[in-house]
Amino acid sequence: VGVLRREDPVEPIGFHFDDQAVDAQPGDTISTALIDARLLMTSRSPKYRRPRGPYCLSGDCGTCLVRVDGQPNVRACMTAVLPDIHVEPQNTFRPKGLDPTQLVDRMFSGGFDHHRFMVKPKIANTIMQTVARELAGFGELPVRALDQPVRHEHHEVAAFVLGQGSAGRAAARVLADAGIDVFAIDRHDAESLRAIDELPWPDTALTSTGVFAAYAGERLWAMQSTGPDGIVLRTVRAQSVLLAMGSRDPMLPFPNNDVPGVMSARGLVRALRRVRAKLEEPPVVVGHGPVAQDCAEELDAELVHPDKVESVTGSRRVEGLALRTGRKIRCQFVAVAGPASAASELAAQAGAALRFDGAGYVISRDESGRAGRFGDTQLWATGDVTGWKGPLAARRDGERVAQQIVRHQKVRRRDG
Ligand code: FES
């Protein structure tokens, strides 16, 4: 019996995980199907061989990497299950069967401080680094080349919106309604975007499309779209670029917080919305503030303040949460709701100014939303990437900055 209670289950589709038959529901990601099947561990950490499973469930952390039909480094949380695919764990010492490095689980069942462990004496550190380098690695080469040729498409547009979360989506709609030639993308697929915000996105927005480079000299943004027709490489040049990449869910510091079954609360909420399911047994939410409260409510979960946490218990998966009061809560999942940090790395690469807001580096912008230049392209920024706002305030911010872009583009057009 799975751990998910589905709202409207239909005929399952089958796939394979490490030679085990697993049932999934249409619309499942590999991660939601594996969570449902209680198969949480998909890899080991490169350095200390700690068990790894999904954390962010949003494509940000990379702890869910698996090999799918011979392709390495596939994010299980961003990949929909297809019938009969073969999914294998990655970065285990042997792909299947006994993994001698799992002795680490037994030797350090209570966890250890990996910032200090074997750092001194120097000789121990050198040996550890050498062994870790040997064992580390993220997958072996694909078994075959890509089936289809990769196409390239180039887009010259007035406005380019990166991100279709609450702010980017609201902004793209304002731009499209004002007759601005807008190109909008998001790296999530349509099902995940629907779980992030119910606001529809413009018909022209592309899903499953993520930027991997920004070239200021050429004013080019390079990205990859994945879909049923294979991979399309795209380049975009725009007069205005609106950065709306949102925020990420950082981990909170408490012992054993990396055991499979510890997940981002926002990521878990969205993943469950996506597959229209609830957990059979509620998780415990660790966090404080409005986001933590909203997540605990949606997950029917007990909310625990981070200061009260002694540690997560369990060595290969979560078995419970030990509190400083001596109380032990039995649970299979711990959902972490820490202060969101802005997804500002691409903005930094593009030359936008950043500032530290206490939780991370956010894009620094002026009153109207201007965030610097990228060659002779005007950069703008909106939503959580400029500092945490939450969905409703992010929408309003997106609309406000989009109206400024409409004005800017009209002036540009008028001035030739
Ligand atoms: S990238 Fe998949 S869980 Fe974080």
Please count the helices (runs of H) and the strands (runs of E) in the chain.
Answer: 9, 27
Q: 76: CA distance to ligand 1 center in Å? A: 7
Burial class of residue 49 (count of CB atoms within 10 Å of its CB; 0-12, 13-18, 19+): buried
Compare 340 and 414 and report the one with higher pLDDT: 340
pLDDT of residue 147: 67
Check whether 99 has a pLDDT greater than 80. no
Mean pLDDT of 317-324: 97
Q: What is the DSSP track for 57-73? A: SSSSS-TTEEEETTEEE
pLDDT of residue 92: 74
For ligand 1, whether the C-beta of 59 sits within 6 Å is: yes
pLDDT of residue 138: 66
User: Contact 379/286 with Cβ under 8 angstroms?
Assistant: no
For ligand 1, whether the C-beta of 362 sits within 6 Å is: no
pLDDT of residue 317: 94
Check whether 213 has a pLDDT greater than 80. yes
For ligand 1, whether the C-beta of 394 sits within 6 Å is: no
pLDDT of residue 69: 92
Give 108's pLDDT tier (boundaries 50, 70, 90). Answer: confident
Percent of the chain scoring above 70 in pLDDT: 95
DSSP character at residue 332: S
pLDDT of residue 141: 79
For ligand 1, whether the C-beta of 55 sits within 6 Å is: yes
Give 150's pLDDT tier (boundaries 50, 70, 90). Answer: confident
User: Which of 57-71, 122-136, 316-330 is least confident?
Assistant: 122-136
Beta bridge partners of 373: 378
pLDDT of residue 111: 67
Mean pLDDT of 130-154: 77
Per-residue CA distances from 188 to 133, 185, 353, 379 (Å): 32, 9, 26, 23
User: Contact 184/243 with Cβ under 8 angstroms?
Assistant: no
pLDDT of residue 105: 72
Check whether 412 has a pLDDT greater than 60. yes
User: Contact 262/338 with Cβ under 8 angstroms?
Assistant: no
| Own/partner pairs, 186-193, CB within 8 angstroms, 24+ separation | 187/59, 187/78, 188/58, 188/59, 188/78, 188/164, 189/78, 189/80, 191/27, 191/80, 191/274, 192/29, 192/58, 192/78, 192/270, 192/274, 193/164, 193/169
Select from 55, 74, 263, 270 the residue to mutate for testing ligand 1; criterion: most ligand atoms less than 8 Å from CB: 55
Q: 189: CA distance to ligand 1 center in Å? A: 14
pLDDT of residue 346: 95
For ligand 1, whether the C-beta of 77 sits within 6 Å is: yes
Check whether 160 has a pLDDT greater than 90. yes
Compare 140 and 223 and report the one with higher pLDDT: 223
Check whether 406 has a pLDDT greater than 90. yes
Mean pLDDT of 72-98: 85
Select from 32, 41, 68, 77 the residue to mutate for testing ligand 1; criterion: most ligand atoms less than 8 Å from CB: 77
Q: What is the pLDDT of residues 36-57, one digit of tens each?
A: 999 999 988 877 788 899 999 9
| Tokens linked to 356 | 């530290």
Is the CA virtual torsion 223, 227, 229, 230 positive or negative? positive
Atom of ligand 1 nearest to the CA of 60: 1
Q: Which residue blocks in 136-257 are alpha helix, DSSP H?
A: 166-177, 190-196
Q: What is the pLDDT of residues 173-193, one digit of tens each?
A: 999 999 999 999 999 999 999
pLDDT of residue 32: 98
Check whether 74 has a pLDDT greater than 60. yes
As a whole number of angstroms, the distance between CA 127 and CA 276 comes to: 48
Per-residue CA distances from 391 to 20, 378, 382 (Å): 39, 25, 12
Check whether 149 has a pLDDT greater than 90. no
CA angle 236-239-241, nearest 5°? 70
Give 254's pLDDT tier (boundaries 50, 70, 90). Answer: very high
pTM of the model: 0.91
Beta bridge partners of 220: 215
Atom of ligand 1 nearest to the CA of 64: 2
